[in-house]
């Protein structure tokens, strides 16, 4: 039986296309998860997307870019701070990342929280639970894949600056046991997939993106931009338009 989700609202304001709520939510005695919820002005339930940021980033980055584009098109979104990111404080560069057991624990925690964000959306009366998607950027793309591969509610997936793991490193075997994006993308089971990537990305290389894309089943699409790891504004517009078509 699903446990009750508790919410504490910090603020709410009107924004172009709807409203934006800053809050945190939790399940049982778990730590609170800081979040931004963006909801369109609509009399009917709307589609919505879970937005998962990249390493060293925060919920504000995706809410302020792709979240705003989605809101203009009548699509809601929830952006969360992943463990050790944003409002959740320090520790990212410390001993946690040097301890394999801590890395495993944080990754498991991030997956559980992304799933909880998805369940939170299904509990909102403003949201149509039959029209949900996941979007992840860089590290968030790996997380989105892991969750989308297991959650039937997810109708579409967007991977921004995401790809396969780098090959030939000392951590390759350990990392692939923890989270293998190739294995995950093969389990999407026909969910529409969009990948957006920079031709000059040195953090997640084009070769890594191409390996991941090749392993995916149809329907799938990849779009390239003259950019590095930080994608241009037009990519957010393209993603929002693609999700609008898939979540009608």
Identify the architecture of domain 5-166+180-246 in CATH: 3-Layer(aba) Sandwich (3.40)
The backbone torsions φ and ψ at residue 114, rounded to the nearest 5 degrees and listed phi first, read -65, -40
159-199 pLDDT, tens digit each:
999 999 988 665 566 677 788 999 999 999 899 999 999 99
Q: Residue 102's pLDDT is what?
A: 78
> CB pairs under 8 A, 24+ apart, for 26-33?
27/3, 27/116, 28/3, 28/4, 32/8, 33/80, 33/81, 33/113, 33/116, 33/117
Single out the residue of 138, 131, 115, 130 nearest to residue 30, CA to CA: 115
Q: Are strands 46-52 and 127-137 parallel, antiparallel or unpaired?
A: parallel
C-beta of residue 138 within 8 angstroms of C-beta of residue 161: yes
Cβ-proximal residues to 202 (8 Å cutoff; 6+ apart), any chain = 228, 229
Q: Locate the domains of the chain by residue range.
A: 5-166+180-246
Q: Residue 162's pLDDT is what?
A: 97
* Rounded average pLDDT per 10-residue block, the chain, 248 residues: 86 97 92 97 97 96 98 98 88 59 86 96 97 97 96 97 83 74 95 98 97 98 98 98 96
C-beta of residue 126 within 8 angstroms of C-beta of residue 45: yes
Single out the residue of 152, 120, 133 nearest to residue 51, CA to CA: 133
Q: Residue 33's pLDDT is what?
A: 97
Q: Residue 231's pLDDT is what?
A: 98
How many alpha carbons fall within 13 Å on the CB side of residue 120? 27
What letter would DSSP give residue 210? H
What's the distance, Cα to Cα, between the start and end of the chain in Å?
30
Q: Residue 173's pLDDT is what?
A: 67
């Amino acid at each position: 039986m699903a446990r009750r989700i508790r919410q504490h609202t910090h603020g709410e304001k009107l924004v172009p296309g709807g409203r934006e709520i800053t809050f945190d939510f939790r399940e049982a005695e778990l730590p609170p998860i800081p979040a931004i919820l963006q909801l369109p002005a609509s009399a009917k339930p709307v589609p919505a997307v879970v937005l998962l940021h990249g390493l060293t980033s925060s919920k504000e980055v995706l809410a302020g870019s792709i979240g705003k584009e989605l809101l203009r098109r009548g699509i809601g979104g929830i952006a969360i701070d992943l463990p050790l990111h944003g409002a959740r404080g320090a520790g990212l560069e410390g001993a946690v990342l040097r301890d394999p057991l801590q890395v495993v624990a944080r990754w498991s925690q991030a997956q559980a929280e992304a799933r909880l964000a998805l369940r939170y959306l299904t509990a909102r009366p403003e949201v149509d639970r039959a029209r949900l998607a996941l979007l992840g950027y860089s590290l968030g793309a790996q997380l989105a894949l892991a969750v989308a591969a297991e959650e039937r509610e997810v109708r579409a997936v967007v991977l921004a600056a995401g790809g396969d793991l780098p090959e030939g490193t000392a951590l390759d075997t350990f990392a692939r046991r923890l989270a293998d994006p190739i294995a995950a993308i093969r389990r999407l089971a026909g969910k529409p997939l969009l990948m957006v990537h920079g031709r000059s990305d040195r953090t997640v290389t084009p070769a890594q993106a191409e390996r991941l894309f090749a392993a995916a089943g149809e329907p799938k699409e990849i779009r390239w931009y003259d950019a590095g790891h930080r994608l241009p504004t037009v990519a957010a517009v393209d993603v929002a338009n693609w999700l609008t078509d898939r979540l009608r």
